[in-house]
Amino acid sequence: MDHGFNEKFGLSKLAANHARDIHAMCTDVAAIIFPKALNPPTDAIISAVSTKLIQLVSDLEKRLISNVHSRSSITWEILASSGFLREPDLIDFTLARVAEDHLESCLEFPIATFVTKLLDHSDSNIADSAQTLLAAESLHRFGSGNSFLGLSPELLHKLCWRVVAALEIVNGGRNSEIIAATKSLISQYSEADRAMDAARKIVHFAHGAELEEFLHPDVAGLRLHVAALSAHLELDYDHVLHLLNAQSSAPYALMLAACAVEKDHAIRNMLLFSGNRTSAHDFGIFEASYAEITRESAFEEIGYWAAERSQYLASGKTT
């Protein structure tokens, strides 16, 4: 009796998988018992990240394989066991999208009427970018199978070829049609079509009162607000999303101080995004010290955050 024995998953394969899993378990258990983060990820965050990663892989499969009918991902288990899905840049991207979803839910109008008004802007760069932003937001929110459209070109390239490699393992060989479809997707991909890049372009060409309005997320919308903070503070767009969605509103408060936002305005913004998470302790510290923070000291501290992020994304480690 073989009890479902399959030679592909014989004793050697089974033993190797479990031996390899020991190291992964050590890492996971250590992260739970001795977390580096002040606020370890909740079950909800872990579930949301897993869901988005599965969706990413599945959407790419459907784009690269013309006759795929499976509702579930073909390559997910292979990619998950290979360790690729734990790479810092991919997890960082996915966490940023989870943060983006949460922050958008805090706004009454995720696709702001402010952006619609920019379609008639006298500066064609801003008008064209507003059209791109609205289209990208629509795809992000309503489109099916488009989760990969927010990836950076580098991350898209890496994820595409990892999916191809996993498909080759599943199929037992190379497939020229899949390779051709992958090359076509990568060559046709335009970073300029991403919502974040359109928002950054609008901020770059705007001036005066418009720039001031970008610091009001309830007016300008999430993406223009994040893009304005990113440009002003010289922080990566996704980094700003992480900071806005932190368990404490302190990082956001310091960013607003660096942008010379008045205290009452800062309070409104903080309550908008994290009112239900801001503790009395955090708010007491804000009340006592916000007015005393200089722009120079705020910029200096934020500069350390940017340096630490660059190091983490490059090596997966922080100091």
Q: pLDDT of 236-279, one tens digit each?
A: 999 999 999 988 888 999 999 999 999 999 999 998 998 667 77
Q: What is the pLDDT of residue 61?
A: 93
Residue 5 pLDDT grade (very low, low, confident, very high; cuts 50, 70, 90): very low
Residue 211: inside a domain, yes or no? Answer: yes
Q: What is the pLDDT of residue 282?
A: 79
Q: With CA atoms as reference, report the closest residue to 277 among 304, 245, 229, 231.
A: 245
By percentage, how much of the chain surpasses pLDDT 90?
52
Mean pLDDT estimate for the chain: 86
Alpha helices in the chain (DSSP H): 11-33, 43-64, 76-82, 88-105, 113-117, 124-142, 153-171, 176-188, 195-205, 209-213, 217-220, 222-233, 237-244, 250-258, 263-274, 280-289, 295-315
Q: What is the pLDDT of residue 283?
A: 81
Structure tokens at 169: 């393992």
Structure tokens at 176: 């020229």
Residue 173: inside a domain, yes or no? Answer: no
Reported as type and span, the H/E element at residue 2 is none
Residue 303: inside a domain, yes or no? Answer: yes
Contact by Cβ (8 Å): 193, 137: no
Q: In whole angstroms, give the CA distance from residue 198 to residue 226.
A: 12
Q: What is the pLDDT of residue 98?
A: 93
Residue 246: inside a domain, yes or no? Answer: yes
Query: Which range of residues forms the domain containing residue 31?
Result: 9-40
The b/e string for 12-26 (b: 16+ C-beta within 10 A; e otherwise) is eeeeeeeeeeeeeee
Q: In whole angstroms, give the CA distance from residue 319 to residue 311.
A: 8
Residue 300: inside a domain, yes or no? Answer: yes
Residue 47 pLDDT grade (very low, low, confident, very high; cuts 50, 70, 90): very high
Q: pLDDT of 140-180, one tens digit each?
A: 665 668 889 889 999 999 999 999 999 999 988 999 999 99
Q: What is the pLDDT of residue 110?
A: 60
Q: pLDDT of 70-103, one tens digit each?
A: 667 899 989 988 888 888 899 999 999 999 999 9
Does the pLDDT value for residue 1 go beyond 60? no
Look at the chain and report how many structural domains it folds into: 2
The answer for residues whose C-beta is within 8 angstroms of residue 319's C-beta and 6 or more apart is 308, 311
Q: In whole angstroms, give the CA distance from residue 111 to residue 116.
A: 8
Residue 154: inside a domain, yes or no? Answer: no
Q: What is the pLDDT of residue 2?
A: 44
Residue 120: inside a domain, yes or no? Answer: no
Q: In whole angstroms, give the CA distance from residue 176 to residue 47.
A: 35
Q: pLDDT of 302-311, one tens digit each?
A: 999 999 999 8
φ, ψ at 158 (rounded to 5°)? -65, -45
Residue 260: inside a domain, yes or no? Answer: yes
Does the pLDDT value for residue 30 go beyond 80? no
